[in-house]
């Protein structure tokens, strides 16, 4: 039985897709067009507390201490509706309090950590006993990339073809990997074209979309082999190439649109210049202007110093691989 006095708090970390997902074959179930593979990050995360409250007649949602409205509110309610359906409790409502330690909607996959944390906390608040695979499926219904934030390390989201077969799982632990990510924050404001809109436009209008699917599937197999061999160079190269190909889809859509700013291009060029100087690092960029730099520990401080001078230290954050879903005592 649900207990109004038992708040449940879950923490989920963001992930950076090294091989991207860009486009859905089923919008409602959020079934992707291709497999993706990510690395879960430590520094960026969402803490979400969910409490069943029998006095409520609708869900109450706070996001970063503000009352959620519009589509932000509706996306939370939509996921809670699925939880209610699974728990067979259609008229139970929840207090949700979510705090993002991630810039929202600026290309840092804040929706991944947000919906993974929501799925985890809400399922326990509703007395559902879900294993990690089931939790991954549930999180996917809120945001596709959230399916990957249930797990630590290198995580593969299997495309599947229905709700049962589309889920993520850990491919390999990153515990014994020498890999880190330096996040370069170039813009904190909400992006003008949401990932959801951008994907739809790319799938339906880019003449290169079918080629993207073939290349992304090839990238998955190649990067898994590189992970098995602890081959940082190949992991970095595939990640940078895959990211640029994804953004080529946005440029080739009709109408074309661009997540990059001029500064994004500058940072990519800076990363390539560092490589020419013998400091190995690689760029990856999600649906936004902000750049992430893949590097190894021996080069991290040099790269940080370089970008601190360009962007200011408050906009340069180093993170190591992060953990999977956690439950916090409040």
For the stretch 66-121, pLDDT in tens is 999 999 999 999 999 999 999 999 999 999 999 999 755 444 668 999 999 999 99
Bridge partner residues of 181 (DSSP): 294, 319
User: Is a pLDDT exceeding 90 seen at residue 308?
Assistant: yes
Q: Mean pLDDT for the chain?
A: 94
- Which of 133-147, 187-201, 233-247, 286-300 bottoms out in mean pLDDT, i.e. has the lowest? 187-201
Q: Above 80 in pLDDT, residue 292?
A: yes
Q: What is the pLDDT of residue 55?
A: 94
The answer to whether 302 and 279 have CB atoms below 8 angstroms apart is yes
Give yes or no for a contact between 116 and 79, defined as CB atoms under 8 angstroms apart. no
295's enclosing H/E stretch is: strand 291-295
Q: What is the pTM of this model?
A: 0.95
pLDDT digits (tens, 9 = 90+) for 215-231: 999 999 999 999 999 99
> What mean pLDDT do residues 249-259 have?
97
Of residues 184, 186, 175, the one with CA closest to residue 274 = 184
CB 319 within 8 A of CB 181: yes
Q: What is the pLDDT of residue 108?
A: 60
Residue 105: per-residue pLDDT: 44
Cis peptide leading into residue 255 (ω within 30°): yes
Give the residue-averaged pLDDT of 319-329.
Answer: 95
- For the chain, percent helix, then strand, then coil, each to nearest 5? 40, 25, 35
Stated as kind and residue range, the H or E segment containing 184 is strand 180-184
Report the C-alpha gap between 149 and 54 in whole angstroms.
30
pLDDT tens for 7-64 read 999 999 999 999 999 999 999 999 999 999 999 999 999 999 999 999 999 999 999 9
């Amino acid at each position: 039985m649900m207990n109004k006095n038992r708040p449940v708090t879950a923490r989920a970390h963001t992930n950076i897709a090294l091989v991207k997902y860009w486009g859905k074959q089923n919008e409602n179930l959020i079934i992707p067009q291709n497999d993706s593979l990510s690395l879960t990050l430590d520094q960026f995360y969402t803490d979400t507390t969910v409490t069943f409250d029998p006095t409520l007649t609708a869900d109450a949602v706070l996001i970063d201490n503000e009352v959620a409205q519009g589509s932000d509110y509706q996306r939370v309610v939509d996921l809670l509706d699925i939880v209610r359906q699974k728990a067979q409790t259609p008229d139970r409502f929840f207090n949700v309090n979510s705090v993002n330690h991630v810039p929202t909607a600026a290309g840092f996959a804040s929706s991944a950590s947000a919906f993974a944390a929501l799925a985890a906390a809400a399922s326990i608040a509703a007395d559902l006993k879900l294993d990690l695979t089931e939790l991954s499926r549930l999180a996917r219904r809120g945001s596709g990339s959230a399916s990957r934030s249930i797990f630590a390390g290198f995580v593969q989201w299997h495309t599947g073809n229905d709700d049962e077969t589309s889920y993520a799982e850990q491919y390999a632990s990153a515990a014994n990997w020498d890999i880190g990510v330096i996040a370069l924050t170039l813009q904190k404001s909400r992006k003008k074209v949401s990932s959801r809109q951008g994907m739809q436009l790319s799938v339906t209008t880019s003449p290169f979309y079918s080629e993207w699917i073939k290349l992304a599937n090839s990238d998955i197999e190649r990067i898994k082999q590189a992970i098995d061999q602890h081959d940082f160079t190949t992991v970095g190269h595939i990640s940078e190439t895959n990211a640029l190909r994804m953004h080529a889809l946005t440029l080739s859509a009709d109408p074309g649109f661009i997540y990059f700013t001029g500064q994004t291009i500058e940072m990519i060029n800076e990363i390539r210049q560092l490589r020419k100087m013998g400091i190995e690092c690689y760029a990856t960029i999600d649906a936004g202007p902000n750049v992430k730099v893949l590097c190894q520990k021996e080069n991290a401080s040099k790269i940080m110093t370089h970008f601190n001078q360009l962007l200011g230290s408050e906009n340069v954050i180093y993170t190591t691989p992060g953990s999977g879903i956690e439950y916090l005592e409040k």
